[in-house]
Amino acid sequence: MSRISDYLNRVFSDRTADETRTDGGVVAGEDRTERGSADRLFDRINARFGDDFVESLPFWFPPFFLVGLFVYGAILWNLLISLTDYEGFAQAPDYSNLDFEMYVRAVSDSGTVDAALNTIILLVVFTLATLIVGLGLAILIDRGIRFENTFRTIYLLPMSLSFVVTAQFWLWMYNYNSGIVNLAFGTFGIGPIDWIGNQQIVLWAVIFALMWQFSGYAMVVYLAGLRAIPNEHYEAAKVDGASTLKMYWRVIIPQLKSATIGAAVVLMVFALKAFDFLYSLTANYRPPNGADILATKMVREAYSNQNWAYAAAIAIILFFMALSVIGPYLTYQYRRGNL
């Protein structure tokens, strides 16, 4: 701290008569007419955008440029590629003949339609289930228990693991002959069930595994939301004679709206791009039959079948699905002044 105030004093005593300089830099010269045209340009830009605009550029522009190039530039480029017929081992797409052929192909390809349906099932069921389990965990942990940190750490633990790692665990859990899941069902006289091999079941098995991994995340978000609710709200509900269940349903849960929205967006967008887990189940671009989603289909079309333009078209469809989640979320955050 003393170093900072020393520095401030030094700068303060060095200040000269030139009051128009807003950046506090070295004074250009005694005669103001000698100021460079660049300085005058900067002043005009600052007058439009705000005092610190030019001086703040070196901070935010390089990162912004990288993001602009790699995220937004790449999406536009991807859109362009999706309009070509680029496939096979050619070096680069031919941009001379652009059409929507690949999108027509996507709509008429039953594999893509099935993958889109699976994507939507995964998105809806996984998000709802994870939110409900996460909320349940958060409420239990928020009841003033001992060893709260230990419980929280264990529930959140799966979230720190790679999908490649958890896929190995669940392959073993779901193993037909020796897995714990079939062992447990066996004690009730059910099964054995081929969790990964049966294409009617595999998607649900995957959703359960992903819910195991992500419910700790939802719990942490809800816990932060619960902690922000004043104690009086609980007490008021108690005084009114509401049962615990009623208190949560009527009083507490409605106040968790923004936590729910934040967590739901993260979970939904994750569901859209879930690739690592499905790939790792088979160590192949083709996930188990019945668990193909657009994210895996896109990567397979590109890097296994070299159908680059077709893959780009699927990617654009996926992008718009993500946008339909992100767009309203951004508007919501903007309205609340939260950006």
Partner 1 sequence: MNANNLRRRVDTGRLGLYTLLIALIVLYLTPIETGLVTSFKTSSAITGTAPYTPPLSGNATLEKWQIAIDALLRGMGNSLLYAVPATIISAFFGSIAAYGLTITNWKMRYKLPLLALFVAGIFIPYQAVLVPLSQFWAQIAPLEEWLSFVWALGVNTDYVGILELIITHVAYGIPICTILFRSYYKNISTEMVESARLNGATLRRVYQRIVFPLSTPMFAVVLIYQFTQIWNDLLFTLILVASESSAAAPVVLILAGLGQSLEGQDFGLRMAGAFFAALPTLGVYIMFGEEFAEGVAT
Positions in 63-82 near partner 1 (CB under 8 A): 63-64, 66-75, 77-78, 81
**267 binds partner 1 per the rule CB under 8 A:** no
Q: Considering the complex, what minimum distance in angstroms separates the CB of residue 47 from partner 1?
A: 11
Residue written as token pair 């996460």: 134
**127 binds partner 1 per the rule CB under 8 A:** no
**115 binds partner 1 per the rule CB under 8 A:** no
**61 binds partner 1 per the rule CB under 8 A:** yes
Q: Considering the complex, what minimum distance in angstroms separates the CB of residue 329 from partner 1?
A: 8
**Which residues, other chains included, contact 3 with Cβ-Cβ below 8 Å and sequence gap of 6+?**
none
Burial class (CB in 10 A: 0-12, 13-18, 19+), 31: exposed
**Which residues, other chains included, contact 221 with Cβ-Cβ below 8 Å and sequence gap of 6+?**
134, 259, 262, 263
Residue among 115, 138, 252, 302 that touches partner 1 (CB under 8 A): 302
Mapping DSSP to helix (H, G, I), strand (E, B) and coil, where does residue 138 land? helix
Closer Cβ to partner 1, 72 or 249, answer by number: 72
Residue among 28, 90, 132, 180 that touches partner 1 (CB under 8 A): 180
**125 binds partner 1 per the rule CB under 8 A:** no
> Applying CB under 8 A, which part among 36-44, 196-204, 230-238, 292-300 lies near partner 1?
292-300
**153 binds partner 1 per the rule CB under 8 A:** yes
Positions in 320-339 near partner 1 (CB under 8 A): 322, 325-326, 329-330, 333-334, 339
Positions in 186-225 near partner 1 (CB under 8 A): 212, 216-217, 220-221, 223-224
Please tell me the distance from the alpha carbon of residue 300 to that of residue 290, in angstroms, as a whole number.
15
Closer Cβ to partner 1, 105 or 273, answer by number: 273
**104 binds partner 1 per the rule CB under 8 A:** no
Please tell me the distance from the alpha carbon of residue 284 to that of residue 300, in angstroms, as a whole number.
9
Number of residues that bind partner 1 (CB under 8 A): 117
Please tell me the distance from the alpha carbon of residue 125 to that of residue 265, in angstroms, as a whole number.
14
Please tell me the distance from the alpha carbon of residue 160 to that of residue 218, in angstroms, as a whole number.
14
Q: Considering the complex, what minimum distance in angstroms separates the CB of residue 39 from partner 1?
A: 15
The C-alpha R_g of the chain, in whole angstroms, comes to 28
**56 binds partner 1 per the rule CB under 8 A:** yes
- HEC profile for 220-285? HHHHHHHHCCCHHHHHHHHHCCCCHHHHHHHHHHHHHHHHHHHHHHHHHHHHHHCCHHHHHHHCCC
Residue among 90, 161, 190, 228 that touches partner 1 (CB under 8 A): 161
Please tell me the distance from the alpha carbon of residue 169 to that of residue 159, in angstroms, as a whole number.
14
